[in-house]
C-alpha cells in the first residue's frame, strides 16, 4: 500500500465543533500550512507521487517497525508525509509549559523518594504512591547525581475545540518516541526539503547535542577520566528495539544489555574485549523494576546486580533514576495544580484533562453519576484493567463496572473525554484527496544544567475519526513529523554521519562489548553458512530443471554433500529428493538449511543493529524478503536463491569495503574463514570417502560449489581432474575458496588481533599452531599421489582433512572461551532464611 496522488490536492470541508490544525474557523489556512499545501498543490502529481512513494520505500528499507504494547506482531511504521505545523508563538508557550511540568515531576520524585512532605501535608494520598508497585522502596532515600531524578520526560497532548492543549498522559520512566520522531524528520525534511528550508523549521539536532552534553557534564568522572555513556536495552525482543538501536547510533552510545555490565565496589563497568571499562552514565530503556535483580525484582535476572549500590554512592548516573515510573499513574493528574503551587510556587501552566481519582469520596460520587461521559483508567499502571470508554458501555457492563469501582475505589480514575483536533492526512485509498484525522502530540523534554529543554518538534500521532479511542499507534493509525516554525535563524547541525557515502559498520573498537564481538564472529559464520547452503541448493535445482543423465548423477553427489553439511534432510523412502530440497529451503528442520541460516544471520545482526549502517541494513532487510516466492514455481524459487546469493555477496562486500579494521571486524572475518574451512573439509572428506565421486560426469559441480569453476576453466580449459582441482581448492593460497587461503588468513588476522587483545596461550600457543601444523602437512602431500587418487591416497588425504576439521572446531572453541561470555549470561538468585 503506498500513498500517491493523481490530481491536485483537495481539502476536506471543515468539521463543526472541532479544532482544525490547518485552517481557522473561517476556512483560512494557518501560518505555514498555507505555504506547504500551496506548494504541494502546484507540484506535478507525478513528482509528488514519487516523493510519497520514496517515504514508504525508505521506511521499509530502513526496517522501521513498531510493536504495540501487548501485541506479538510488529507493524510497519506508517508516516503521513504532511507534517503537523506549529507557529513559533504557540510553540513558545507550549514549550515553557512542558518544561515546567518536567521540573514539577522531578521535584515530586525528589520528595517521594525523600522527605515525603507531599504525603504528610495531604497534597497526595499515600494510597496513590504506596499502593503502586512502581514505587520502589529500595530507592527510598536515594540522592542521584546532580540531584536530578528525571532526565527524560514525554507528555501526550490533545487539543480541545477551543484550541487549548491538554496533557492526557505523562511518561517518566523511559519515554518512547524520540528515535521515531528523528526518523520521521529525516524522511519528511528530505521529501519536502524546499518547504522545510523556506518555512524556517526548527532543527532537532541541537536538542540531541544538549542531551549528550548534559550527560557528559554531569557524568561522575574522576580526574582524568573521560565520561563514558551507554544505552541499556532489553535486547532485540523489546517492542521498541528499533528505536533504541537508532538512538544509540545517533548519540554514539554503545547499546548494551544488562549482562554486558557489571558492578564492582559501587562502580559500573562494561565488559569489553579489552577488559572492564568504567561506565559513568546509563541511558536506560529497561523498566524500573528490572534494573537491579539484587534489590528490585529478583524474578527478573536481566538487570545489573548491585546497580543501586553504585547509584547510592553517586558513582553512576542513570537516566531516569529507577522508580521514576511511579509518576505515570493517571490518578496523579488531579493533584498537580496544588502540588505545583506548593513545590514550585507557580501555577501549573500545562493543564491536565479533568481527572477524578475514585479514592476520594466526592470524586467517586461524581464518577458514578457521569460515567457516560468519562473514560475510566486504572489508577495503578500495570493493573489488570483496560481503558474503558463510558459512552461505549452497555447497560450490564455499566452496572458491573460500577460494582467493581465500589469494591476498590482507590484503584480507578476517570477522565473527561476530549474531542481532539483534526489535521489533513493523505488519503491512502482515494488518491489525491486529503482527509481529516484526529491528532495526538507527544513532546519530549530533557534535563540540562540550564533547566529543562523541550525538543522543538515531536511525535504526532494521527488516527481516523470514527475510532473514538485515540490509539493511533495501533493498526490503522499513522504518525507525522512535527514542524515548529521560527522567526529567527535556524541552527543547522546534524549528528547523523551515516546517510552519505560508505560508512563504518563498527565505529569504534575500544568499547566493543564481549557480546558484540561474539555476535560479529557468529554473524561471519552464519553468512558463510547461508552462502554455501544457497549455492548448493541452487546447483541442485538448476540440474532438476535441466534434466539429463549426467545431471542426475551430480544431483546425487550434491545431495550427499548437502546431507553431510546438514543443509539437506537425510534420504527418506517416502520423500522424493525435490520435496526434500524444497522442504529444506522453506523449513527450519535442518541445522544449516537456507532459511535457518538466513534467520541466524538476521538474528545475530539484530543483536547489534546499532553497528550497521543504513545501507548495510537495507541488504539485510532484503534478505528477509528474498525467499518470498511461489514454492510450486521452480523458476521463481531459483530467482529467490539467486537473490540470496547476490545479497550474501553484497553483505560480504559491505563487511570488507566499509568496516574499520577493529578487533570486531577481525572476529567477523575469522568467523567467516573458519566456517568456510569447515565446509571445505567436510565436503572433501565426504567426496574422498566415496570412490564413485567424479567418475561419471566429472567434478565440475564441486568447482561450482566452491565458486572456483571460472578460475579452473581459465587455467585448464578441460574437464575437472583430481590433481588440478585439489591444487585449486586446497593448495592455492590465492584462491579465496581454497583451504590454504583460509588457514593463512586465520593466522594473519589472529596475529593482528594479538597486538590489540592478547590471544593467550590456549589460542596462540595451542589451537592456532595445531591448525597450521595440520594444514602444512596437507600442503606437503605428494602431488603424484593425487593424479589418479587411488584408494589409499584418498583415505590418507581424508584423514588429514578430518584432523584439520577438528583443529578448526578446537580453535573456534578456544576463541569462544577466551573472548566471549565465559559462563551463563544471567545469575541465579540465592535466598538464605
Partner 1 sequence: MVRYRVEHTTRYEYGGSVILSQQLAHPSPRAWPWQETLNACWQLEPEPSWRHRGFDAFDNPVEWFAYYLPHTELHVHLSLDVAVHAHRPPCLEGGIDVHTLRERLSYHGTQPLPEDVVAQRYAFESPHIRIKRELAAYAAECCPPDVPVALAAAALMHKIHEEFTFDPTATTVSTPVMEVLAQKRGVCQDFAHLMIACLRSLGIPARYMSGYLLTQPPPGQPRLVGADATHAWVAVYAPGVCDHDWIEFDPTNDLLPDTEHIAMAYGRDFSDVSPLRGIILGGGDHRPHVAVTVTPWSDFSEEGPDISG
Binding site for partner 1 (CB under 8 A): 116, 119-122, 125-127, 130-131, 133, 137-141, 262-266, 293-295, 297-298, 301, 305-306, 309, 312, 359-361, 407-408, 822-824, 827-833
Q: Quick one: 76 or 275, whose CB is closer to partner 1? A: 275
Q: Least Å distance between CB 137 and partner 1?
A: 4
Residue 28 or 828: the one with the smaller Cβ distance to partner 1 is 828
Among residues 286, 287, 304, which one has the least CA distance to residue 295?
304
Q: Are 451 and 445 in contact (CB under 8 A)?
A: no
CB of 328 to partner 1, least distance (A): 17
Q: How far is CA 741 from the centre of its chain?
A: 36
Report yes or no: 443 and 154 within 8 Å, Cβ to Cβ.
yes
Supply the minimum distance, in Å, between the C-beta of residue 395 and partner 1. 24
Rounded Cα distance between 621 and 531, Å, is 16
| Closer Cβ to partner 1, 126 or 391, answer by number | 126
Query: At closest approach, how far in Å is the CB of 115 from partner 1?
Result: 11
Give the nearer residue to partner 1 in terms of CB position, either 128 or 446.
128
| Cis? peptide before 663, omega within 30° of 0 | no
Closest separation in Å from C-beta 296 to partner 1: 10
Q: Residue 338 CB, nearest distance to partner 1 (Å)?
A: 9
Closer CB to partner 1, 125 or 463, in the complex = 125
Minimum Å distance from CB 832 to partner 1?
3
- The nearer residue to partner 1, 154 or 331, going by C-beta atoms, is 331
Q: How far is the CB of 169 from partner 1 (least distance, A)?
A: 23
- Which lies closer to partner 1 via its Cβ, residue 204 or residue 307? 307
Residue in 454, 383, 436 with CA at minimum distance from that of residue 95: 454
Euclidean distance between CA atoms 434 and 427, whole angstroms: 5
Q: Identify which of residues 117 and 777 has a Cβ nearer to partner 1 in the complex.
A: 117
Q: Pick between residue 112 and residue 687 the one whose CB is nearest to partner 1.
A: 112
Q: How far is Cα 683 from Cα 702, in angstroms, rounded to an integer?
A: 9
Q: And the C-alpha cell for 1? A: 500500500
Residue 306 CB, nearest approach to partner 1 (Å): 5
Determine the distance from the C-alpha atom of residue 386 to the mean position of all C-alpha atoms in its chain, rounded to a whole number. 28
User: How far is 330 from 135, CA to CA, in rounded Å?
Assistant: 15
DSSP string, 385-439: ---EEGGG--HHHHHHHHHHHHHSGGGEEEEE-----EEEEE-SSSTTBEEEEEE
In whole angstroms, the minimum distance from the beta carbon of 411 to partner 1 comes to: 9
Residue among 318 and 778 whose Cβ is closer to partner 1: 318
Nearer to partner 1, 714 or 830 (CB): 830
- What nine digits make up the cell of 645? 546469493
Nearest Cα residue to 771 out of 794, 796, 750: 750
Report the distance separating Cα 169 and Cα 111, nearest Å: 21
Q: Which is nearer to partner 1, 266 or 721 (CB)?
A: 266
Cα dihedral 266/270/273/274 (nearest 10): -50
**Whose Cβ is closer to partner 1: residue 74's or residue 116's?**
116
Q: Return d(Cα 141, Cα 805) in angstroms, integer.
A: 59
Tell me the angle at which helices 549-564 and 577-586 cross, rounded to the nearest 10 degrees: 40
Report in angstroms how near the CB of residue 812 gets to partner 1 at its nearest.
Answer: 23
Q: How far is the CB of 229 from partner 1 (least distance, A)?
A: 23
Sign (positive/negative) of CA torsion 216, 222, 224, 230? Answer: negative
Q: Decide the pairing of beta strands 229-233 and 281-284.
A: parallel
Pairing mode, strands 165-171 and 422-426? unpaired
Query: Is 157 within 8 Å of 310 (Cβ atoms)?
Result: no
User: SS3 for 611?
Assistant: helix
Q: What is the 3-state secondary structure (H, E, C) of 686-699?
A: HHHCCCCCCCCCCC
* Nearest distance, CB of residue 362 and partner 1, angstroms: 9
User: Hey, which residues does 201 pair with through a beta bridge?
Assistant: 485
Nearer to partner 1, 112 or 417 (CB): 112
Cβ proximity to partner 1, 86 vs 316, nearer residue: 316
Provide the phi-psi class of 382: left if phi over 0, else alpha when psi is between -120 and 50, else beta. Answer: left
Report the 3 state secondary structure along 294-362. CCCCCCCCCCCCCHHHHHHCCCCEEECCCCHHHHHCHHHHHHHHHHHHHHHCCCCCCCECCEEECCCHH
In angstroms, rounded to a whole number, what is the distance separating the alpha carbons of residues 419 and 421? 7
- Least gap, CB of 830 to partner 1 (angstroms): 5
- What is the rounded distance in angstroms from the CA atom of residue 231 to the CA atom of residue 257? 8
Q: At what angle do helices 634-658 and 663-688 cross, to 10 degrees?
A: 140
Between 276 and 393, CB nearer to partner 1: 276
Cα Rg of the chain, angstroms: 31
Q: Minimum distance between the CB of residue 301 and partner 1, rounded to whole angstroms?
A: 7
DSSP 231-260: EEE--TTSTTHHHHHHHHHHHT--EEEGGG
Cβ proximity to partner 1: between 296 and 517 the closer is 296
DSSP 13-57: PPPTTS-BSSB-TTSPBPTTHHHHHHHHHTS-HHHHHHHHHHHHH
Cell of 220: 561522575
Number of residues assigned to the chain: 833
DSSP strand pairing (422-426 vs 374-378): unpaired
| Residue nearer to partner 1 on the CB measure, 59 or 327 | 327
Smallest separation, CB 113 to partner 1 (Å): 9
Amino acid at each position: 500500500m503506498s500513498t500517491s496522488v493523481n490530481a491536485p490536492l483537495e481539502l476536506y470541508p471543515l468539521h463543526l465543533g472541532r479544532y482544525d490544525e490547518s485552517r481557522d474557523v473561517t476556512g483560512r489556512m494557518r501560518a505555514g500550512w498555507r505555504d506547504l499545501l500551496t506548494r504541494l498543490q502546484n507540484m506535478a502529481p507525478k513528482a509528488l507521487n514519487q516523493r510519497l512513494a520514496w517515504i514508504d520505500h525508505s521506511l521499509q528499507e530502513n526496517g522501521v517497525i513498531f510493536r504495540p504494547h501487548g501485541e506479538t506482531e510488529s507493524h510497519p511504521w506508517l508516516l503521513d508525509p504532511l507534517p503537523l505545523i506549529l507557529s513559533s508563538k504557540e510553540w513558545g508557550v507550549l514549550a515553557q509549559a512542558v518544561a515546567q511540568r518536567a521540573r514539577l515531576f522531578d521535584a515530586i520524585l525528589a520528595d517521594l523518594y525523600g522527605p515525603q512532605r507531599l504525603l504528610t501535608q495531604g497534597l497526595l494520598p499515600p494510597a496513590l504512591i504506596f499502593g503502586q508497585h512502581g514505587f520502589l522502596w529500595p530507592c527510598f532515600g536515594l540522592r542521584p547525581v546532580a540531584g536530578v531524578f528525571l532526565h527524560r520526560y514525554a507528555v501526550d497532548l490533545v487539543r480541545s475545540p477551543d484550541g487549548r492543549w491538554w496533557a492526557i498522559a505523562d511518561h517518566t520512566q523511559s519515554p518512547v518516541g524520540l528515535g521515531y520522531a528523528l526518523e520521521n524528520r529525516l524522511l519528511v525534511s528530505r521529501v519536502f526539503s524546499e518547504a522545510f528550508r523556506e518555512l524556517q523549521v526548527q532543527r532537532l539536532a541541537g536538542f540531541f547535542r544538549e542531551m549528550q552534553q548534559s550527560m557528559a557534564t554531569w557524568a561522575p568522572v574522576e580526574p582524568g577520566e573521560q565520561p563514558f555513556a551507554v544505552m541499556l536495552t532489553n535486547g532485540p525482543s523489546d517492542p521498541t528495539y528499533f528505536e533504541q538501536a537508532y538512538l544509540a547510533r545517533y548519540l554514539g552510545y554503545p547499546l548494551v544489555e544488562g549482562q554486558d555490565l557489571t558492578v564492582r565496589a559501587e562502580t559500573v563497568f562494561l565488559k569489553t574485549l579489552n577488559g572492564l571499562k568504567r561506565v559513568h552514565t546509563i541511558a536506560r530503556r529497561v523498566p524500573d523494576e528490572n534494573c537491579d535483580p539484587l534489590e528490585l525484582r529478583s524474578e527478573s535476572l536481566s538487570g545489573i546486580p548491585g546497580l543501586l549500590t553504585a547509584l547510592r554512592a553517586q558513582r553512576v548516573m542513570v537516566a531516569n533514576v529507577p522508580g521514576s515510573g511511579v509518576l505515570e499513574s493517571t490518578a496523579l493528574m488531579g493533584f498537580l495544580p496544588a502540588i505545583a503551587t506548593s513545590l514550585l510556587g507557580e501555577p501549573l501552566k500545562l493543564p491536565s484533562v479533568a481527572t477524578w481519582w475514585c479514592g476520594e469520596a466526592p470524586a467517586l460520587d461524581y464518577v458514578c453519576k457521569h460515567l457516560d461521559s468519562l473514560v475510566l483508567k486504572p489508577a495503578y499502571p500495570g493493573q489488570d484493567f483496560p481503558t474503558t470508554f463510558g459512552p461505549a458501555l452497555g447497560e450490564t457492563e455499566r452496572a458491573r463496572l460500577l460494582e467493581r469501582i465500589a469494591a476498590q475505589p482507590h484503584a480507578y480514575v476517570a477522565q473527561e473525554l476530549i474531542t481532539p483536533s483534526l489535521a489533513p492526512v493523505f488519503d491512502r485509498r482515494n488518491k489525491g484527496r486529503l482527509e481529516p484525522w484526529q491528532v495526538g502530540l507527544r513532546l519530549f523534554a530533557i534535563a540540562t544544567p540550564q533547566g529543562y529543554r523541550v525538543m522543538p518538534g515531536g511525535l504526532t500521532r494521527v488516527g481516523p475519526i470514527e475510532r473514538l479511542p485515540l490509539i493511533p499507534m495501533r493498526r490503522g493509525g499513522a504518525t507525522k513529523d512535527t514542524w515548529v516554525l521560527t522567526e529567527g535563524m535556524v541552527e543547522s547541525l546534524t549528528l547523523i554521519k551515516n546517510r552519505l557515502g560508505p560508512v563504518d559498520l563498527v565505529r569504534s573498537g575500544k568499547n566493543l562489548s564481549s557480546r558484540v564481538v561474539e555476535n560479529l564472529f557468529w554473524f561471519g559464520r552464519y553468512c558463510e553458512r547461508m552462502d554455501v547452503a544457497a549455492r548448493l541448493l541452487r546447483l541442485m535445482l538448476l540440474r532438476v530443471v535441466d534434466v539429463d543423465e549426467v545431471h542426475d548423477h551430480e544431483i546425487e553427489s550434491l545431495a550427499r554433500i548437502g546431507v553431510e553439511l546438514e543443509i539437506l534432510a537425510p534420504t527418506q523412502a517416502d520423500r522424493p529428493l525435490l520435496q526434500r530440497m524444497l522442504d529444506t529451503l522453506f523449513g527450519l528442520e535442518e541445522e544449516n538449511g537456507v532459511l535457518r541460516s538466513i534467520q541466524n544471520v538476521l538474528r545475530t545482526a539484530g543483536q547489534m543493529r546499532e553497528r550497521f549502517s543504513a545501507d548495510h541494513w537495507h541488504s539485510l532487510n532484503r534478505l528477509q524478503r528474498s525467499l518470498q516466492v511461489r514454492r510450486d514455481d521452480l523458476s521463481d524459487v531459483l530467482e529467490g536463491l539467486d537473490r540470496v546469493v547476490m545479497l550474501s555477496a553484497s553483505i560480504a562486500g559491505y563487511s570488507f569495503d566499509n568496516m574499520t579494521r577493529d578487533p570486531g571486524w577481525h572476529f567477523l572475518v575469522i568467523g567467516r574463514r573458519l566456517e568456510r574451512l569447515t565446509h571445505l573439509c567436510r565436503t572433501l572428506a565426504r567426496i574422498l570417502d566415496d570412490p564413485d565421486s567424479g567418475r561419471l560426469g566429472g567434478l565440475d559441480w564441486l568447482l561450482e560449489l566452491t565458486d572456483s569453476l571460472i578460475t579452473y576453466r581459465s587455467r585448464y580449459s578441460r574437464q575437472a581432474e583430481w590433481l588440478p582441482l585439489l591444487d585449486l581448492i586446497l593448495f592455492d593460497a590465492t584462491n579465496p575458496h581454497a583451504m590454504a587461503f583460509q588457514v593463512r588468513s586465520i593466522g594473519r588476522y589472529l596475529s593482528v588481533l594479538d597486538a590489540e587483545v592478547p590471544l593467550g596461550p590456549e589460542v596462540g600457543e595451542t589451537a592456532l599452531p595445531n591448525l597450521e601444523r595440520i594444514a602444512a602437512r596437507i600442503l606437503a602431500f605428494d602431488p603424484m599421489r593425487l593424479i589418479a587418487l587411488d584408494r589409499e591416497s584418498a583415505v590418507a588425504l581424508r584423514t588429514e582433512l578430518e584432523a584439520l576439521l577438528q583443529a578448526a572446531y578446537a580453535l573456534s572453541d578456544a576463541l569462544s572461551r577466551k573472548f566471549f561470555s565465559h559462563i551463563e549470561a544471567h545469575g541465579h538468585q540465592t535466598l538464605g532464611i
